[in-house]
Amino acid sequence: MKIDPKSLSKRQLHLFMGNLVVPRPIALVATISPEGIPNLAPYSLFNIVCYHPVPIVFYTPMRKADGLKKDSLVNVELTEEFVINLVTEEIADEMNITSGNYPPEVNEFSVSQFTPVPADLVRAPLVKESPFNLECHLYQIISFGKPDIAGEMIMGEVLRVHVRDELWNDGIINANHAHLIGRMGWGLYTRTRDLFEIGHPSD
Q: At residue 203, does pLDDT exceed 80?
A: no
Given this model, what pLDDT does residue 148 score? 80
79-137: pLDDT as tens digits:
999 999 999 999 999 999 999 999 999 999 999 999 999 999 999 999 999 999 999 99
CA 199 to chain centroid? 29
- Tell the burial category of 70 from Cβ atoms under 10 Å away from its Cβ (0-12, 13-18, 19+): buried
Could you check whether the bond before residue 116 is cis, i.e. omega within 30 degrees of 0?
no
* DSSP 8-state assignment for residue 68: P
Closest CA to 155 of 175, 132, 182, 136: 136
Given this model, what pLDDT does residue 171 score? 86
Buried-state track 166-198, b at ≥16 Cβ within 10 A, e below 16: eeeeeeeeeeeebbbbbbeeeeebeebeeeeee
10-60: pLDDT as tens digits:
889 888 998 898 999 999 999 999 999 999 999 999 999 999 999 999 999
CA 134 to chain centroid? 10
Residue 176: pLDDT band by 50, 70, 90 thresholds? confident
pLDDT average, residue stretch 62-81: 93
CATH topology of domain 5-191: Pnp Oxidase; Chain A (2.30.110)
Q: How far apart are the first and last CA of the chain?
A: 39
